[in-house]
Structure 1
Amino acid sequence: MDGLMQPRPLTIAHILERAERLYAHKQIVSGEERVTYAEVAGQVRRLATALDALDVPAGARVATFATNTRRHLELYLAVPVTKRVLHSLNIRLSAEHLEYIVNHAQDDVVFVDRALLPRIWPSAPNMPSVRHWVVLPDDSGETIPDDPRVLLYDDLVAASDPFPGSFEDTFTLADENLASGLCYTSGTTGPPKGVLYSHRSTVLHCLGTLAAGFIGLCESDVVMPIVPMFHANAWGLPYGAMMTGAALVLPGPSNEPEHLLSLMESERVTVAGAVPTVWTSLAPGLRSRDLSATRFLLGGGSAIAPALSETYRATVGVPITHSWGMTEISPVGTIGGTRTQHDTLPEDEQVAVRAAQGQPLPLVNLRIADVETGAELPRDGKAIGELQVAGPWVAGGYFLVDAADRFTEDGWLRTGDLATIDAHGYVRLVDRMKDLIKSGGEWISSVELESAIASHTDVVEVAVVARPDPRWVERPVAYVVLRDGSATTGEDLLRHITPLVAKWWLPDEVFFRAALPKTGTGKLSKSALRESA
Structure 2
Amino acid sequence: MLGLMQDRPLALPHVFHRAEQLFGHRRLITAETSGERVTTVADWAVRVRRLATVLDSLGLSADARVGTFCWNTDRHLELYLAAPCTGRVLHTLNIRLFPEQLVYIVNHAEDEVVFVDRSLLPLLWPLVDKFETVRHIVVIDDGADHEIPSDPRVRDYEELLAAAEPFAGRFTVEEENSAAAMCYTSGTTGNPKGVVYSHRSAVLHSLITLTSDAFALSERDVVLPIVPMFHANAWGIPYGALLAGAELVFPGPNMTPEAIVGQLERHRVTVTGGVPTIWMGVRPLLADHDLSSLRAIICGGSAVPRSLSEAYREAIGIPMLHAWGMTETSPIASVSSRRSHQEAWSEDERADARARQGQPVPFVDLRIADPESGEELPWDDRATGELQAAGPWIAKEYYRGEGGGTQFTQDGWLRTGDVASVDKWGFVRLVDRTKDLVKSGGEWISSVDLENEIMAHPAVAEAAVIAIPHEKWTERPLACVVVKPGQSLTAEELIEFLTPRVAKWWLPDAVEFIDEVPKTSVGKFSKKTLRDKFAGYTLPS
Structure 1 distance, partners of 2:187, 2:521, is: 11
Q: Does 1:171 align with 2:173?
A: yes
Structure 2 distance, partners of 1:366, 1:516, is: 31
Kept in 2, the 8 Å contact 1:62–1:79? The answer is yes
- Which of the numbers 114, 126, 146 marks the counterpart of 2:150? 146
Q: Where in structure 2 are the equivalents of 1:272-421 lying within 5 Å?
A: 272-402=272-402, 403-421=404-422
Q: Which residue of 2 aligns with 1:479?
A: 480
Letter in 2 for 1:288: D
Q: Which residue of 2 aligns with 1:439?
A: 440
Structure 2 distance, partners of 1:236, 1:388, is: 21
Q: Once the 2 structures are TM-superposed, how far is the Cα of residue 120 of structure 1 from its aligned partner?
A: 1.1
- Which of the numbers 54, 59, 62 marks the counterpart of 1:50? 54
Q: Where in structure 2 are the equivalents of 1:167-206 lying within 5 Å?
A: 167=171, 170-172=172-174, 175-206=175-206
Structure 2 distance, partners of 1:401, 1:467, is: 34
Kept in 1, the 8 Å contact 2:10–2:176? The answer is yes
Structure 2 distance, partners of 1:217, 1:194, is: 28
Q: Once the 2 structures are TM-superposed, how far is the Cα of residue 382 of structure 1 from its aligned partner?
A: 1.4
Q: Does 1:156 align with 2:180?
A: no
Q: Which residue of 1 aligns with 2:513?
A: 512
Q: Does 1:107 align with 2:111?
A: yes
Farther-moved stretch of structure 1 (399-408 vs 299-308): 399-408
Kept in 2, the 8 Å contact 1:337–1:353? The answer is no
Letter in 2 for 1:351: A
Q: Once the 2 structures are TM-superposed, how far is the Cα of residue 188 of structure 1 from its aligned partner?
A: 4.7
Structure 2 distance, partners of 1:422, 1:136, is: 49
Kept in 1, the 8 Å contact 2:63–2:88? The answer is yes
The Cα offsets for residues 164-189 of structure 1, whole Å up to 9 and x where unpaired, read as: 1101xx222xx111100010002552
Q: Once the 2 structures are TM-superposed, how far is the Cα of residue 404 of structure 1 from its aligned partner?
A: 1.4
SS of equivalent residue, structure 1 residue 64: strand
Structure 2 distance, partners of 1:158, 1:137, is: 14
Structure 2 distance, partners of 1:507, 1:120, is: 42
Kept in 2, the 8 Å contact 1:88–1:182? The answer is yes
Q: Once the 2 structures are TM-superposed, how far is the Cα of residue 442 of structure 1 from its aligned partner?
A: 1.0
Kept in 2, the 8 Å contact 1:193–1:401? The answer is no
Query: How many residue pairs get matched?
Result: 529
Kept in 2, the 8 Å contact 1:196–1:398? The answer is yes
SS of equivalent residue, structure 1 residue 62: strand
SS of equivalent residue, structure 2 residue 512: strand
Structure 2 distance, partners of 1:120, 1:259, is: 25
SS of equivalent residue, structure 1 residue 419: strand
Q: Does 1:83 align with 2:87?
A: yes
Kept in 2, the 8 Å contact 1:28–1:36? The answer is yes
Q: Where in structure 2 are the equivalents of 1:13-32 lying within 5 Å?
A: 13-31=13-31, 32=36
Q: Percent identity?
A: 56
The Cα offsets for residues 176-206 of structure 1, whole Å up to 9 and x where unpaired, read as: 1110001000255211000000000000000
Kept in 1, the 8 Å contact 2:213–2:335? The answer is no
Q: Does 1:124 align with 2:128?
A: yes
Q: Once the 2 structures are TM-superposed, how far is the Cα of residue 471 of structure 1 from its aligned partner?
A: 1.9
Q: Which residue of 2 aligns with 1:64?
A: 68
Structure 1 distance, partners of 2:148, 2:173, is: 37
Q: Once the 2 structures are TM-superposed, how far is the Cα of residue 401 of structure 1 from its aligned partner?
A: 2.6
SS of equivalent residue, structure 1 residue 452: helix
Structure 1 distance, partners of 2:160, 2:133, is: 21
Kept in 2, the 8 Å contact 1:476–1:505? The answer is yes
Structure 2 distance, partners of 1:337, 1:20, is: 31
The Cα offsets for residues 71-97 of structure 1, whole Å up to 9 and x where unpaired, read as: 000000100000000000000011100
Letter in 1 for 2:380: D
SS of equivalent residue, structure 1 residue 401: helix
Q: Once the 2 structures are TM-superposed, how far is the Cα of residue 337 of structure 1 from its aligned partner?
A: 3.0
Structure 2 distance, partners of 1:217, 1:37, is: 17
The Cα offsets for residues 251-288 of structure 1, whole Å up to 9 and x where unpaired, read as: 10111011000000010000000000000000000010
Structure 1 distance, partners of 2:272, 2:484, is: 25
- After superposing on structure 2, the runs of 4+ consecutive aligned residues of structure 1 that deviate more than 6 Å are none
Letter in 1 for 2:19: A
Farther-moved stretch of structure 1 (470-479 vs 298-307): 470-479
The Cα offsets for residues 422-459 of structure 1, whole Å up to 9 and x where unpaired, read as: 12111110110110011111111000100110100111
Q: Which residue of 1 aligns with 2:45?
A: 41
TM-score for both structures, normalised by structure 2 = 0.97
Structure 1 distance, partners of 2:233, 2:304, is: 21
The Cα offsets for residues 33-83 of structure 1, whole Å up to 9 and x where unpaired, read as: 111111110000000000000011111100000000110000001000000
TM-score for both structures, normalised by structure 1 = 0.98
Letter in 2 for 1:112: V
Structure 2 distance, partners of 1:432, 1:64, is: 30
Kept in 1, the 8 Å contact 2:275–2:523? The answer is yes
Q: Which residue of 1 aligns with 2:469?
A: 468
Structure 2 distance, partners of 1:10, 1:492, is: 57
Q: Which residue of 1 aligns with 2:537?
A: none
Kept in 1, the 8 Å contact 2:336–2:358? The answer is yes
SS of equivalent residue, structure 1 residue 44: helix
Structure 2 distance, partners of 1:194, 1:297, is: 29
Q: Which residue of 2 aligns with 1:267?
A: 267
Kept in 1, the 8 Å contact 2:275–2:300? The answer is yes
SS of equivalent residue, structure 2 residue 529: helix
Letter in 1 for 2:105: I
Farther-moved stretch of structure 1 (367-376 vs 67-76): 367-376
Q: Does 1:233 align with 2:233?
A: yes
Q: Which residue of 2 aligns with 1:499?
A: 500
Q: CA RMSD in A?
A: 0.8
Letter in 2 for 1:109: V
Structure 2 distance, partners of 1:530, 1:282, is: 28
Letter in 2 for 1:159: A
Kept in 1, the 8 Å contact 2:407–2:415? The answer is yes
Which residues of structure 2 form unaligned runs of 5+?
A: 535-541
SS of equivalent residue, structure 2 residue 176: helix
Kept in 2, the 8 Å contact 1:325–1:331? The answer is yes
SS of equivalent residue, structure 2 residue 520: coil
SS of equivalent residue, structure 1 residue 400: helix
Which residues of structure 1 form unaligned runs of 5+?
A: none
Structure 1 distance, partners of 2:326, 2:200, is: 18
Structure 1 distance, partners of 2:317, 2:26, is: 27
SS of equivalent residue, structure 1 residue 377: coil
Structure 2 distance, partners of 1:209, 1:347, is: 27
Letter in 1 for 2:173: F
Structure 2 distance, partners of 1:94, 1:367, is: 34
The Cα offsets for residues 323-347 of structure 1, whole Å up to 9 and x where unpaired, read as: 1100000011000132110010122
Letter in 2 for 1:284: P
Kept in 1, the 8 Å contact 2:213–2:337? The answer is no
The Cα offsets for residues 398-427 of structure 1, whole Å up to 9 and x where unpaired, read as: 001343111111101010111111121111
